[in-house]
Structure formats: structure tokens, C-alpha cells
Structure 1
Amino acid sequence: MKKKLKKIKIEKSDMNRKMKKLSISLCIACLTGIMAAGCTEETDSDKHLPDGKYPMAFTAAVDGLTVTRAGTADGEWTTTDRIAVQVSDEIKIYAPSNNGNNVTLTSDDPFYWQRNNETKTVSAWYCGDGSTASEGGNVEKVPTSWSVQSNQEEKGYQKSDFLYAAPKDISFSDTDKSLAFTHQTARVVINIKKAEAAMEADVISSVVIGYENNLALSGTYTAPTEGNATDTWNTSGGTMGTITPKDITASGSSDILKTYAALVIPQNMSEQKFIAVSLRDGNTYYYTPQGTDADLKSGTQYTYNITVKHDRLEVVTAGTNVEWGSEKTETVTSRIVAKSFTAGNLKNGDYYYSDGETSDGGLRKIYTDGSTEMLNIAPVLTDQNGNERTCIGIVYWVGDIRDDNYGLLNSKFSNGMHGLVASLWDMRDPDSEELKMLWTYGGYEDVNKWLAKAMLLDGNPRPEDFKSIRVTDKMQGYANTIALKEYNKYVEGKDGDGYGKDGSNRVKPVKCLDAFETDHPSPQNSSGWYWPSIEELEYVCWGQGATKRGISGMEMLNTQIEKVRGELIEKTFYWSSTEGSYFYSAHCVNFNGGYENSGGGKHERPYRVRPLLAF
């Protein structure tokens, strides 16, 4: 009978395709219709399951579950937890049938399988505040917002927990009917090291996450879709505050004095006071993270190992931005902010344009160690009227240097000046166009001795107090440049060895300035381009305010110069306009470390030159 049936079905299929004879098609259609009816009834009977006999049960595990379940320290589900399970559009309450991490979820009123070939889309969620229990506020739908507790010292920690298992297709025949729950909050763990100012537990008065209500305690939430573990949070308009974390100090630890944990709404706490440690002596120290060290995300644990110094916090991040339970270590030292800025403040790193105006370069903080924090701000290549302009330099020093230049800048800045700009380019040798040049044309003499006797500078009487270009503690590059230009006139107008129009005693970099000014015109309201003194050049390398040598200034400048496609400052020697203590030498700076050198032979060592201007 079955073979005959199979044969008839094949004939029906064949005749339906060809449609050669209407009478044969009708006959076969009638016969196969009768047969198909018998087969359908037999298949439905095989697939249909008895009502109420096959309840849906699921296994449940929590990714990275630690110290969140019902206040225990081993990360277990308990039989008192209540979980909302959604199948299609219907929601029912399930509970773990046993304690543990990987448990079976069952219900007194379960969903039932109806057919042995069906597939259901299943999702589930758990709220630590009990709102997924019977008649709770989050039983009928997934929460669209969530709040964590401000005080998580006791039950507030557990009440802050929110878990979600994203939609998953599960079939009756599947052997794996598991739901993978993921924490939708972030977890912050703080380890206070037993060291320095915190050798005893009673030294610590309090540990708080957040400062003066800068931490979001609530946010709106969009549940993840199938195939995703976590989704998006929006904290705008949410409740703000701080969190007192739970003390989870483990016994027997030799180097950890105290350990705290808190569940936190996902948010970015970069550049904000994030962790405050207060001591019994009345001192409070703050950790202000940088970059992504506190860009808190769902399902992620952030561990901060803190050494309380006598004047600050030293923080080592261990496991930041990794799944709960993973380990990763990197060092981040808590830094003290020396000065903060807004977009409207004139500051180092600002762009300087051909029209004499500046725009925000993105500097927001300078730390006491000389390092900086900068936003990625692009230059503005049109003025307020829409006219095009070019960026010709970067502000690297803010302040007034007129007094250092013996009054020679006063006529240009009668109403005060703003600061100094480093050019985007190095100067070229005036003869060979090479990027390196000698200080002179191959000869040398005591320029300082000439200056002491000079009567005129740039057509004006030499200021009485300007008698030396060997001064190392003044930003007098403008005055030095005026003097060296006058000195070249003196050499070119005198006869003798090293003198004359092509005399080898001439100073080469000041010969470059006219050509540089032609190629890169300076604004009329500026000093014009000049050759920096040793003090000005040091701060180009070190950065304004630095108390020791380094390259923070160069790094900041190069970050900005790269954005406008200028020539990066190289890690090599640069000449200053300051003559050395020996008349055959001059001062230079090695930008590969920031070391100043006063022994450079003017006549024999080719170095680079980077011009400045005052504005």
C-alpha cells in the first residue's frame, strides 16, 4: 500500500509539470487527494503531544557570575530567585530547581510543548530587587529602565543586579535548552593594597564611587536582540549620585587590605573623579581615569588595584574592559591636574592661522607631571565671514615675553601679547635647501663681544640692558634674532678674513628667515618669524610648565602638526639663537630626550632650525 502511494505521488508530480491530458490529471488529483488526507492525519497524530505532559524546562547559567547572587560569595543561583521567561508573547515565572551556577529552571505554571517538531523563541530576565517575582513590576515585560542602589553595602548590592538572556530559538528536539544570562550592568571591583599610607584596615574611613553626584544611578535600557548579549543604555535624565560599594574582602590575603565591589549603570567616567578613598586622618584622594579605563560597559568587570600614597592614589587596572572572571593588567597612575581648560580659553595646542587668529586645539588638562589630556579637535580653515585661511603654526606657550626682549617687542604689542607659536615647518639651508645647517657659514667669532659695542639694532639704538646673546634664562629669541641680523650686516660690510658679502662668519639661520617669511607669511599683528633662544627652544621640547627635561611639548605639538599636515619635529638636534659660553659654540636641544647642549660647534655641526613667532 505504501509503495503504491509513493508511486502515485510521483505520477501526480509528473503530470502536474507536464499537463498533457486533462482527464488523466483530474483522475490522479482525485486519487492523490484522498491519499494525502489519510497521510496528513497520520503525520499530525505522530507530531502532536499530549496536553500538559511535556513542560518546558531550561538550564540557566550566568556569564561571568561572581558575588551577585543572593548576597553569596560564590556566585550561585538560589531556589528563591524568580525569573521571567518569555515564549513568543507570553510570560511566566520560573525558578531554579536547585542552588548553583548552572541550574534547571522550572515553574509551577510552565509552558508546554505541543508538538514534537516545534521551535519556540525564548528570552528571560532576572531583577535582583524582586520585581520579576509574582506581581512584580517587571513581570509583564522586559525593563525599559533600571536603577542601581546608592548604598550597596548590604542587600543594595544584590538588589542592583539585572540579568538578561537574549532571545534564542529552542526546539523540542534540542538537547541543549540553555539560556545564557548576562549582567546588563557593569561591575567595579576596588582592591586597596596593603602599603604606604594604608597599612591597617581601620585607616580607611570610606570608599565611594563617584563624586558630588557625577555618577548615573539609573538609565533607560534597550534589550539586546537575538545573537547579542548586551545592548544600549542612555543615562541622560537619569538619577545622579554616588555609590557606597559592598565590602567583599577575602580572608587570608597578604597584600590586599580591603576589597569592594559595586554594580554600576554603564557609562563613561573618563576625566571625572571616579573613586574617592578617605582616610581617618581627614585626607581624601581621588582617582580620575583617562581614556577607556572607566568606559563602563554591560557585562564587563573593571578592577582597580589602588595603592594609597601619602599624597595621591596610584592605580593599577587589572581586568578592565574584559568579561567578568577574566584577568588582564596594565598600569595607570593617578595624576594630579595642574590646570584645566575650556574650548574658549587660549592654550597650548591651539591652532594659529594666517589671519592672526586662533582656534581650539583640544587641550583640556595639564597634569603636574607635565603630561596632557587633549580632545581630537580639527582646525577651522575659514574665518567668521567664510573666508579661507591656512594654519601656519601651533600655540606652545601662553604668556607675555616683552620684558625678556628688552622692549624690542613693545611697539608691536602695545596692548599686550598672548603667547608663542611654533611653526609647522623647519627652515631650509638658504643655499642647499637642506633641512640641516651650520650656525655660521663655516667661520666663527665672539658675536657677544660685538653686541656689547653695537650702537644700532634694526635702525634703532640698542637697549642699554641688551648686551648678551648668551643669556640662557630668558625667552629673548626675538631680541637675539634682531641682533644677529644686524651682526650679519656688520660682517658683510667689513673687509678681512671671514668678512665681506660672502664672509664665513655670517650667521646662517637668520639668512633663512626672509625666504621663510616669503613662503609662509606671518600675520601683521605678530612679531614675524624669529629664531628661538635656548629657553624658548627647551619649552618647545619639554612643554610649558615642565620642571624637568622631557619631550611632552614636542609630542603635543606633533599631535597637532600631524592634523594639519605640517612637518613633524624630529627627534634630533635643533639650534637655538643663544651663543655658547665659548665663542665658537652655541646652544642646542636634542629633541630625543630634551637634553640641552652648550658645546655645539657653530662652524662644524649641522642641525635643524624651527622658527617661532609671538602674537
Structure 2
Amino acid sequence: MRKRMKELPFAGMLRRVAVFAAAGALLVSCTKEYDGFPSAGNELRFSVSQQGEADAERAMTRATPVTENKFHDAFGVFGYSHLGEENWTDVAPKFMFNIEASTEDGTNYTTKDTYFVPGKGQNVTFLAYAPYGAEGLTLPERGTIGAPNYEYEVPQDVAQQSDLCFAVPATLKGGTEDGTVNLAFHHALTAVSFVGSKGMAYAKFSRIALKGLYGKAVYQSDGTGTVQWTDYSEPNSTYSLSLDPNVTISANGKEDKPITTEAQTFMLLPQDLANAELEVTFKDQQFEWHTLTASLSDREAWQPGEHVTYTIKIVEDRLIIESVDVTAWNKHKEVDEEGEPAYLPERLKIGDYFYSDGTYSDGGLRWIKEDGEYVIASPKPTPVASKTVVGIVYATFRDHPDRFGKAERDTLLRQYGREPRGLVVAVKNASSVKWYNDDESPESGLPKTNRPSLCYKDISGLANSRHIEDTHGFSDYPAFKEATEHQYGALTKDAKTTGWYLPAAGQLWDVFQNLGNIKSLADESLQTSEQFVGNDAISISVEEKARLNSWLSGIEDADIFNPENDDKAIWTSSESNAGYAISWDLENKNSTKILYFHQKGLSAQYVRPVLAF
């Protein structure tokens, strides 16, 4: 049974109390009649609560990101009065227009006037933004009908860059006895911070700047709570922060050190980084000043509600971005009562569609519950019609960094100067061929993975494939050749991937475990088993196999994994011994042989390529 859900952060629960400790607000009114409808006589109140906190602190400065424990000093409220059968988007906010609700003690928010709940037949829908009077925010004109659009220009001064938040529309029915309105705020911007790597040379930083950014856009309040920025300016804005005092990073320190403080967090528009650069000014150990830049063009786009932290280092005369940490700081993010995390539609995650041009789109995963249950959006998102789906994301570097092979990581770093983002399995089989051309195969030189523990650890099909190509060539190894030359929805030159290759045993393990949510494969006792392959009982239910193949629904020409009554397995690039290669067969009626092995040159099995990007 589904657990009752609540929204975090700033997602207040409806309560029948007069004062709210979390961030409860008393909002008021001088009249007891609205547009000819009498008041119900009950005072109107707004709740802005925060996860499990009895007392909410205020953000220390405008630039400090608000969290579950902190919120802005004040927010502005818009109220749309409308008849029960009317839509609030068809009227103007005459009930309230930019009414300030503020707090002195960080607990109770109040307004200058008092407002009352309207009588039966007259509803009011409320929207809000925070902080009140945010620097750079232009409000819609009074009397504008429908959901408001806000123009926003990011202030040049980082100290004036607000953690801009907007509330999801909330409707109060007239005549209700409880005048409490729950306002659920979400973050509209991206927070950006910087850390100095412990492995860098000595540097004393005096300035850090972000260049080539979009600095102005329009926020569209569509009534659903979805963050929508449109009408961006040209990407020619620069945001510079002088560090006073300067921040010193010692050579080869014991731990990373923050360069920007919490109050120095950049609050910027969500955006693509095609033109973006990072620039730093620092003094080296010889007391000489330098200014270095690093491109952000290959980095993942900033999303609303994310806190992106770049760990940087100076190596000789180069500025290097060592790592990027993205935390779900997050916009209007849903969690259940146990605090299990949700996945945003725009955030890369397992199940997303991967296209031939190297882009991806939402596949529908919303959160994974504590018991392992997957919750999928309904209806499930469909692929972008103008693009060709070539694969499904089965692992992300953010969530599964230890499941990326060294060859995959090194290739993307060398070719594109960035860390991996995800792993993808093809939506179609490349072919059905033998692993090796002849019945008697020679020693290949690949590591032997004849135990489940070794299969699970073998996660670099790219390294296996390169070994075969460099040592033997592909002419006698058709499975490797077909995977590498897979042409369905041919990848474009801008895709920035490793290219397709024959997956290792551990990579197909992750495909089935992650996309199928197959419980037995997640069992640590199997992942560490030292029995010979084929001796461990692996139970895969009909429901788990259906869940695995459900990610392929709606994709034209997609091949499901191991169709019913199909006797072919799926090859991996991992060897069991000189004559046999590891294979997976989800349709095998003998449950102990789902992870098994086949003679390399005896029979044809499926080739299902994977890639890293």
C-alpha cells in the first residue's frame, strides 16, 4: 500500500492550529466581504513548514541557500478569488496582490492587515514568491489575468543573489472552518559553490568568476509548480566574487577545502553551459599572480533546485575541474514519510531515454522506495518524437560511481575532458552470432570470471573489447565486432560517448538489477559468491522480467530481453575459461543457469551492446 506523501522542503502540512512553529504565518483582513460574498468569519492563515523542524531559522544572508532549517524573512502573496466553477487562471489577483508576510522571530509570519476566509461559493487560489522584494525580480503588472510571469535578472553582486523560491498554487474553498493554507515552495535557481582539491599545488585565491552565462530570463508560473524559465538573454553575463580574505589552499593538503562560504554561494539561472567558463585569480608559492580559465561547456546543464559544487585544482599552468558534486537541494521534491529521495524529471537517472545525438530525456522514474519498489510517473513519459532512441540509461555516475570501469572513465576524460555521466544499454540487439568463429578457441588473455563474485566485479567491457582488438583483431571474434559496429540509430559525432561495445558480465548484471529491480541480483551473498557460475540459484520472477522490458515500451523497433520461449542467451565479453564465455539468459527455465556460460564457437547468442557517455 502506498505511503502517505509529503512535499519537501517547505511543503507545509495542513494543520488545525492558530500559530505554526515551523514557519507558520498569520495572514489577515480588514473586511468580511469579498466581491459580494460574505466571509466565513475565520481568519486566514498560511503554513510554510519545513521537514520535521519545530523552529525554523532564517537564512543568514540573501545569498545563503534556504534549507529545511532556514527560510526567508518575508515572502510576497498573490490571491485570486473566483467562483467555485471558475478557474483561477481566468481572473486577476484582486484578493491579494504582492502582500508581504514577514517575520521578526523566524517563527510567525504576519501581514499588516487581517484577511478572512470567504463564504461558501467563493474560492481563493494563492501563489507566492520569496524573498519579498527580491533584487532583480520584476513582478507582473497589477490586474494581469492568469498565472503571473516574472522577469528576473541575476544581480551582479553575489551577496544580492537571492535563493529565489516560488510556491505551488494552493486553493482554499470558501466557507471552510479551517483557514489554513499550505504553501509549498520550491527553489527556482541553481546554487553553485567551489572547493579546492587536497591534491593541488599551493594557491592563494583572490577571485573566482563565472563567464559566458545567461543572466536574464522569464519565470513562467504555469499553475502546476513546474519550474519553467523562458526568454533567456544572450549568454554574455559574468559574475565575479572577490574573496576577502583570500583563500589559501596548501600544497597536498589532507582534505579538500571550501573556496566559497555558504554566504558566498552563487545563485544563478538554470541553464545550458555551452558558452560558460570558470576563471580564477590566485597567487602561487613564488608570490606571482595568475589568472586561469577552464571551460564548462562539456559539463552537465544546471537544473533548478540543485546545488552544484565544483572541486578544482591547479596543476602546473592549468585549471582543472577535478569533480562535480550535484546534490538534490531541491525544488518541490517529493519524499515519503521515511525520507526516501525522489528523482526530478530533468535529472539524469536510470530508465531515461538516450538518443543518437548524445542527449537524453525523462524515462519516468520518480523515486525508489525503501523496500526497493520503483514508482514510475503516470502516464510514463514518451520519447522525443523528432529524435531516435538508441538506448536506455541503466546506471548514472552520480548514483553508481563504483560501477564504471576504468577504461570507460579514462576514455571520456581523455577525449572530452570530463567524468562519465551514465551507462547505456542498446534498445536493439546488434545481431545473433558466435563469440568466436571456430569450435576450438585459443587462449584470449582475458581474465577468467568463473565465479559470480568475479562476474560482478568485471565492469569494463570496453577494456575487454580493446584487449581482443589489440591482441587478436575482431575478424575471428564476431560478437565483439558486431557490438562495436552496431549501427541502429547511428551515433552522431556530437554524441560524446565511448561508442558501443560488448558488455562485461558485471555490466549486464547492472542492466538487469537496476532496470529490472531484480531482488536476487542485489543480494550481497550472490555478488560475493565464490561458487562456480551456474551453482547459485538465482530467482527471477515474471514481474521482474516484465519490469525490465517495460523500459522499452513505446520505443519503435526495440528488442525485448529474452523473449518467451527464445532459447538464445546474451553474450558478455567476460570469459569463464579458454573455451567458454559468460552469458545471461533470463528465459532459462533452470533458475540456476540464468547467469551461465556457453561454448564460444558452438552456437550463436544475442549481442546487446552498451556504451558510456
* TM-score normalised over the length of structure 1: 0.42
Greater helix proportion: 1
* TM-score normalised over the length of structure 2: 0.42
